Amino acid sequence: MTLEGHIVDIRKGLKDGIFGDEDDVCEFIVKRLLQALGWNIYNRQVFIREYSVNSGRVDFALFHPPSAPKILVEVKRVGKINAGAEEQLFSYAYHNGVPVLILTDGKEWHFFYGTGEGSYDERRVRIINLEEMDNGESAELLQRYLKYESVCTGEAREAIVTDHHAVVRQQRIANALPKAWTALVEEADELLRDVVAEKVKELCGDEPAAHQVLDFLKSLESRQASGSTITQTQRAPSSGSGVTASGSGRLQLTRLEVTMNGETIAERNGTDTFVKVLERLGLDHVYNLGVSWVTISQPSQKHRIVGKYYIITLGSTKTLKRRLEKAASGLEVQLTVKTVSK
């Protein structure tokens, strides 16, 4: 029978509830799958049941070479995996430097990089759920991490390490995303404001005022902090401005202020200042630097047309600031660029 065939049969048994206790899981699921993955469960040089670790015992230890375990497997009753079980498994492995740890109740198989850094969750590489996942996918992943031949060659450990690095990278990104959003909202990023305003206009035909967009973004930030639903502040018209801003919590837009040859260039918004300074530097000269944001071909991004040149203006105030500083450096022109509140 193939590995996938064993999984199909075990899956049926799980559905029928025939695996009553931890011993059933050990004998009729774990040992069965390990044997199908090439482990000789009758050779104590590679396979030991009830392996003594420090002051306790782990259900299975898998060896190659025979001198030290490469994998520890802790087994629980179906549905009984919990944080305490993880702590128990890691306590077994702590003093032995075992690279691969498995916690399973027969249905779920939790694979950990035992010698990796971080919390238990951060060292969890994969959860294989035999009931919910496709049988072929389950077989492929079990072979990736647990096939005897792959353990012997080191490929299984390499797969664990590679996938652990991917988990850590995704966790870093997940942690950084809300911080990035907070920074964009707090800095009143001009690109973010423009993108939202343009999408509103596309949907309803009317372009929102800048403060409307900013207040909406602020409400998103408030909801993230408090978990409350979004409510938008109603504003009453006032003479001369059409709509009045109120409340000390309002975000402020930023713009650019450039000092060049003793002259200060500070237009109404960062985009206007950006374009004007590029004109002062000389668009021919800037284009010859080979920058990607001054081109003679019409770009798909938001842009301004000045003579024969297309100037890409899509970008935050900080991005436009960096572009001006790069152009000035390339042309050996002295200028100072500041980001200031409107």
Task: Map out the domains of the chain as residue ranges.
Answer: 3-169, 187-251, 254-341
Q: Round to whole Å and give the CA distance between 153 and 319.
A: 48
- Helix (H) / strand (E) containing 123: helix 120-123
Query: What pLDDT digit, counting tens, does each position of 2-45 carry?
Result: 999 999 999 999 999 999 899 999 999 999 999 999 999 999 99
- Closest Cα partner for 104 from 26, 32, 220, 201? 26
Residue 72: pLDDT band (50, 70, 90) is very high
**326 against 53, higher pLDDT:** 326
Structure tokens at 141: 């992943």
Range of weakest confidence among 47-51, 204-208, 277-281: 204-208
Query: What pLDDT digit, counting tens, does each position of 106-136 carry?
Result: 999 999 998 887 788 889 999 999 999 999 9
Q: What is the pLDDT of residue 230?
A: 36
Are the C-beta atoms of residues 304 and 313 closer than 8 Å to each other? yes
Backbone angles phi, psi at 34, to 5 degrees: -60, -40
Residue 332: pLDDT band (50, 70, 90) is very high
Q: What is the pLDDT of residue 225?
A: 57
Side-chain half-sphere exposure of 31, counting CA atoms within 13 A: 16
Are the C-beta atoms of residues 15 and 22 closer than 8 Å to each other? no
pTM: 0.61
Q: What is the pLDDT of residue 28?
A: 97
Query: What pLDDT digit, counting tens, does each position of 184-219 carry?
Result: 766 656 667 777 887 888 788 888 887 788 788 777
| CATH fold for domain 3-169 | tt1808, chain A (3.90.1570)
The amino acid at 105: D
Mean pLDDT, rounded, of the chain: 85
